[in-house]
Structure 1
Amino acid sequence: MQAFEALGLRAELIQAIAERGFQEPTPIQQQAIPCLLAQTQDFVGLAQTGTGKTAAFGLPLLQHLDTDSREVQALVLAPTRELCMQIAADLEVFARYLPKVRAIAVYGGTSIGPQIRQLRQGVQLIIATPGRLIDLIERKAVDLGTVQQVVLDEADEMLNMGFRDDIDYILEKTVSRLSTWLFSATMPEGVRRIAARFMKNPKEVSVGRQNTAAANISHEYYMTSAHDRYEALKRIVDYHPEMYGIIFTRTKADAQEIADKLRREGYGIDALHGDLSQPQRDKVMKDFRDRTLQLLIATDVAARGIDVDSITHVINYALPDDTEVYTHRSGRTARAGRSGTCISLIHMRETGKLREIERLVKARFVRKPVPSGKEVCEKQFFHFIDRIHDADISHGDYEHYLPQLTERFADMSKEELLTRMASLEFNRFLEYYRDAPDLNARTERRTTRDTPYRDRDRGQDRYRPESGKVRLFINVGSKDGFYKASFLQFILDMSDLPKQVLGRIDLKEMNSFVEIDTDAAQQMIRALDGRKMKGRQIRMNLADRSGGPQQGQGGASYGRGPRYRNRP
């Protein structure tokens, strides 16, 4: 393993990273840094979350800067403000002994005025989210014409969030660009299209296999009914009293609702999602990093940029739609060489989906039984005993109180004293779990390993959308040139609906399925059904349980509104 000194970095950067505690470069740093120091080489770096990608591109960026100039020379694009802020904080540490470096992080959710004022004072490096950067370009507050290096960090996630057009627009503004550095955990088709359009013979470095989970992560799943999912979550958290983790939900409404319920029941938890203001988000993250909170519950988008090394567990309250998202979620744990556990709560109809993820991430998923109430109480009890045994009594004037304590408990045996202490600690647990039911899903109705649950009477695949949503069928898919992010953007643009009304999207080759709020379904069907795309007519209507359009229905079948056929 090479040392950082052998990679060609200047002494000021070596000193800063040594004080940060970095001793040897990670594999992605070792392969990327010498290449990126050459400056003119386009570069694609594929590595999982938590492998040191920020230092891999950040150190060469800082070394290239002309600190005597006030022109913008380098740009880093990141999908979320959390990641944007994290990158900026890391680069500030790396540039500790480069006092003339002027960098700024620009992102939404905060006032644009101070960012404009700082940009006008002159900066050499911008770390930005795409939306806020475009706002600044349109206000003529920033000129990217002098940018020489552009970094696209978490490029796959930016595409998943629908930023493809924004990225195209921004890159077209960097007319003096010498090199583009693209970093991603995965390499979907959309990322390859960006590389083909804006990069010339890029050097590609891949650390580990794409879409694979880290080897030091254990993957477990618990099978319970959808109705018991919340109780199963509580029981799993109670069974792991030393857990310090992140719970992932599909929607911000779920994140807030579950956080509120757990908080009312005494758990140290808070939610992180897009509806929070920036000060609220900062406070939640500070409390989590300070371990004031044991748990953080978050949506996938909000969790981007969370860089906490000591997370022990990741819990999928609901499985993600994309395998790549599972890789990102699980990568929140087992960072910096540690081990970690990724837990998924599933019901019987999700077995096939779980097996698909298992195959694609090339990791073995172990089924665990939801702990019984007795097992939870036992685990908590011995955790409490261990805390007593391992308590640090080296600080404090405890000897002063020992005579009084000895006298006070002289009539009790050690066993009685321990029993009384345990009763004070565990009355709540014992009472709560006294008649705790079995939460493990019954498996009399067997499924094949790779197919959904089959209806016993009809022999058809059954699908039940989330509560409050319906499932729509549309006769377009990946064969029409769509990938998930572009398909999402297409249906939102056509229907003029907000992203929040959508649930699961299942993009197949010849057709697709969309979960949507029941009260928004009619608007989407009217907007898309009957339109023409590439010379053929789009058909959208309610899907039946077998995974196709409802029989006997054509065109706009939802509701009683007029049919919109052959519109221009």
Structure 2
Amino acid sequence: MITFEQLGLDDRLVKATSELGYIHPTPIQEQAIPVLLGATQDLIGLAQTGTGKTAAFALPLLSIIKEDKKYPQALIVCPTRELCLQIVKEIVGFKKFMKEINVVAVYGGASISLQIRDIKRGVQIIVATPGRLIDLIERKAVNLEKIQYVVLDEADEMLNMGFQDDIEFILKNTPIRESTWLFSATMPAAIRKVSKKYMDNPVEITVGKANTVNTSIDHQYYVTAAQHRYETLKRLIDFNPGIYGIIFTRTKADAQNIAEKLTREGYDIDALHGDLTQPQRDRVMKQFRDRSLQLLIATDVAARGIDVKEITHVINYELPDDVEVYTHRSGRTGRAGSTGICISIIHSRESYRLKQIQKIVQAPFNKMEIPSGKDVCRKQFFSFMDRLLSADVSHGDYESYVPMLEERFADISKEEVLKRVAALEFDRFLQYYENAGDLNVRPGENRADRRDRQTGRDRRDRGGDNDRRGQRKDRDNRDFQGDTTRLFINIGTKDGFYKASFLQFILDMSDLRKDVLGRIDMKEMNSWVEIDKNAATQMVRSLDGKKFKGRKIRMNDAETGGRR
């Protein structure tokens, strides 16, 4: 098996890659690096995301640029700020023993004056997003006339984002470049057009087949009714306790709405979409990379250039219209030799679109059963047992508490202690899934058959909607008259709620109707809710113990202080 040393790289680069743990090049690196070291040949490299394309162009660049010349010699253009910073980070790691080489990142959302200052200090490599680079060109703050090497990374994503004119403008402003290197996961017609116009007889290297997906990814799909898409998503998340993934939606409104609903239900999740400012986007991405967030929900445009290691799952809340978009989505997992799972939630009328995607990407898609409520509880229970058995008790003075524990539990058997531990951890969870319905759509099944399978929560979600709509009009504007009790909750106006939004929040969480509620008294720190006695238990079970903005919700009987 070939090593980096055999590719003809500078010895200092070989030493740096060895320290980084890279011994054997990936297929795209093995084929591209020898060609690019010649420094005169245009190249098109087609390979899926996560196959090591950055090193395929960064290592040759570091080998051939002149260290003693303190002006821009190489330009790398990429679609997003995240990818820009990622490329710079990798180059910095590779050039550890090449101290005279400087690299600067140029992107929007950061101080342009500081970027101009860094360029004027003397750099050999500029890594840039198209918009900010053009801004610098028009300000005459950067001179590209001596650029010899231009790299277009994630070229298909740049074209999908509408950067074709920008790319052509940039190429026109690099008149003496010796070679152009274009790297992409797919090869749409627009890229072929740009390559014919600005590249001279390029060498084309393809690793795998165009539009095909990573073979390390398990493609799964679940068929459900359209109205149960959100419930299916929630159940799949619960069925995978160790999930660390990205959920894709078509619109930013869907991304924000689903993120808010899941956050209210205690999940560590946030949304990434086009309405976020750069500081907000940076904060969300930092939390996701630090694993403070378990899940990120994003639109396709907002997720461009995201490269986060060890993502276990990608979930398509809805199928994309474009097969290439599916390829990019799924490519966020199964990176750098690891395995991943790409899940699609579809309804029966979308089956034909899934078959089209399957045919083009040439990968098997496995139809899966949406797990039942009992399946989810069983999976969570096994996960809890694993966490319990692997808990690290070496860092605390737990030994000093053992005698007190033994004394306190002297009259209780080990089996009873285990039951109580399980009850503390799973009571709310088991209650939620106690009457969970079957969300699967069966072949040849009509709506009546499907309704017969729906029980508990899922049946209540659908049944009687029309009748209730009529009843609500009469009830919404009058005081509640039934036998009531008062509940206390540790949420108030300081949490950003006003009465209408608080009302919607507790109804969404508890799956109750508005007509079971009476008077609501909100204070800054806490609130009191008047509710039908028959619905109080469900309200408490649904909210008590959940999390809101990282804080545990406490709800109980306002008179006794006890949980119902």
Q: TM-score, normalised by structure 2?
A: 0.77
Matches within 5 A, 1:200-349: 200-349=200-349
Q: After TM superposition, give the deviation of residue 335 of structure 1 in Å.
A: 1.3
5+ residue gaps, structure 2: 447-564
SS in 2 for 1:301: coil
Deviation sequence 1:277-328 (CA, Å, 0-9, x none): 2222222222212211111111222223322221111001111111111111
Whole-angstrom CA distance in 2 between matches of 1:125 and 1:442 = 57
Whole-angstrom CA distance in 1 between matches of 2:253 and 2:80 = 19
Whole-angstrom CA distance in 2 between matches of 1:296 and 1:430 = 26
Whole-angstrom CA distance in 2 between matches of 1:147 and 1:332 = 32
Q: After TM superposition, give the deviation of residue 268 of structure 1 in Å.
A: 0.8
Whole-angstrom CA distance in 1 between matches of 2:299 and 2:4 = 36
Deviation sequence 1:37-87 (CA, Å, 0-9, x none): 110010111110000000000111112222222211000110111111111
Deviation sequence 1:531-552 (CA, Å, 0-9, x none): xxxxxxxxxxxxxxxxxxxxxx
Whole-angstrom CA distance in 1 between matches of 2:252 and 2:184 = 25
Name the structure 2 match of 1:536.
Answer: none
Task: Output the amino acid matched with 1:370.
Answer: I
Contact 1:222–1:369 under 8 Å retained in 2: yes
Task: Output the amino acid matched with 1:253.
Answer: A
Name the structure 2 match of 1:192.
Answer: 192
5+ residue gaps, structure 1: 447-568
Whole-angstrom CA distance in 2 between matches of 1:273 and 1:213 = 25
SS in 2 for 1:302: coil
> Within the alignment, does 1:420 sit opposite 2:420 as a pair?
yes
Q: After TM superposition, give the deviation of residue 402 of structure 1 in Å.
A: 1.8
Whole-angstrom CA distance in 2 between matches of 1:301 and 1:54 = 21
SS in 1 for 2:50: coil
Task: Output the amino acid matched with 1:332.
Answer: R
Name the structure 2 match of 1:124.
Answer: 124
SS in 2 for 1:55: helix
Whole-angstrom CA distance in 1 between matches of 2:39 and 2:26 = 20
Whole-angstrom CA distance in 2 between matches of 1:378 and 1:101 = 56
Name the structure 2 match of 1:52.
Answer: 52
Farther off after superposition, 74-83 or 278-287: 278-287
Name the structure 1 match of 2:504.
Answer: none
Q: After TM superposition, give the deviation of residue 445 of structure 1 in Å.
A: 6.8
SS in 2 for 1:344: strand
Whole-angstrom CA distance in 2 between matches of 1:109 and 1:273 = 15
Name the structure 2 match of 1:401.
Answer: 401
Farther off after superposition, 46-55 or 400-409: 400-409
Q: After TM superposition, give the deviation of residue 253 of structure 1 in Å.
A: 2.2
Name the structure 1 match of 2:384.
Answer: 384
Contact 1:314–1:332 under 8 Å retained in 2: yes
SS in 1 for 2:325: helix
SS in 1 for 2:370: coil
- Identical-residue share of aligned pairs (%): 63
Contact 1:269–1:296 under 8 Å retained in 2: yes
Matches within 5 A, 1:414-563: 414-444=414-444
Task: Output the amino acid matched with 1:360.
Answer: I
Task: Output the amino acid matched with 1:339.
Answer: T
Whole-angstrom CA distance in 2 between matches of 1:394 and 1:263 = 33
Q: After TM superposition, give the deviation of residue 394 of structure 1 in Å.
A: 3.4
Whole-angstrom CA distance in 2 between matches of 1:131 and 1:443 = 50
Farther off after superposition, 392-401 or 158-167: 392-401
> Within the alignment, does 1:66 sit opposite 2:69 as a pair?
no
Q: After TM superposition, give the deviation of residue 243 of structure 1 in Å.
A: 0.7
Whole-angstrom CA distance in 2 between matches of 1:148 and 1:190 = 24
Whole-angstrom CA distance in 2 between matches of 1:433 and 1:76 = 51
Task: Output the amino acid matched with 1:133.
Answer: L
Whole-angstrom CA distance in 2 between matches of 1:31 and 1:366 = 33
Deviation sequence 1:117-148 (CA, Å, 0-9, x none): 22233321111111111111111111111100
Contact 1:80–1:302 under 8 Å retained in 2: no
Name the structure 2 match of 1:114.
Answer: 114
Larger radius of gyration between Structure 1 and Structure 2: 2
> Within the alignment, does 1:164 sit opposite 2:164 as a pair?
yes
Task: Output the amino acid matched with 2:112.
Answer: I
Q: After TM superposition, give the deviation of residue 391 of structure 1 in Å.
A: 2.0
Whole-angstrom CA distance in 2 between matches of 1:101 and 1:264 = 49
Task: Output the amino acid matched with 2:221.
Answer: Y
Whole-angstrom CA distance in 2 between matches of 1:423 and 1:165 = 61
Q: After TM superposition, give the deviation of residue 442 of structure 1 in Å.
A: 4.8
Farther off after superposition, 282-291 or 196-205: 282-291
RMSD: 1.5
Name the structure 1 match of 2:411.
Answer: 411
Whole-angstrom CA distance in 1 between matches of 2:320 and 2:310 = 23
Matches within 5 A, 1:85-124: 85-124=85-124
Task: Output the amino acid matched with 1:220.
Answer: Q
Task: Output the amino acid matched with 2:300.
Answer: D
Name the structure 1 match of 2:39.
Answer: 39
Farther off after superposition, 235-244 or 377-386: 377-386
> Within the alignment, does 1:81 sit opposite 2:81 as a pair?
yes
Contact 1:252–1:273 under 8 Å retained in 2: yes
Deviation sequence 1:425-446 (CA, Å, 0-9, x none): 1112112112222222354379
SS in 2 for 1:195: helix
Contact 1:82–1:302 under 8 Å retained in 2: no
SS in 1 for 2:363: coil
Deviation sequence 1:234-280 (CA, Å, 0-9, x none): 11000100111111111222222211221111101112222222222
Contact 1:86–1:305 under 8 Å retained in 2: no
Whole-angstrom CA distance in 1 between matches of 2:363 and 2:414 = 48
Whole-angstrom CA distance in 1 between matches of 2:96 and 2:243 = 34
SS in 1 for 2:301: helix
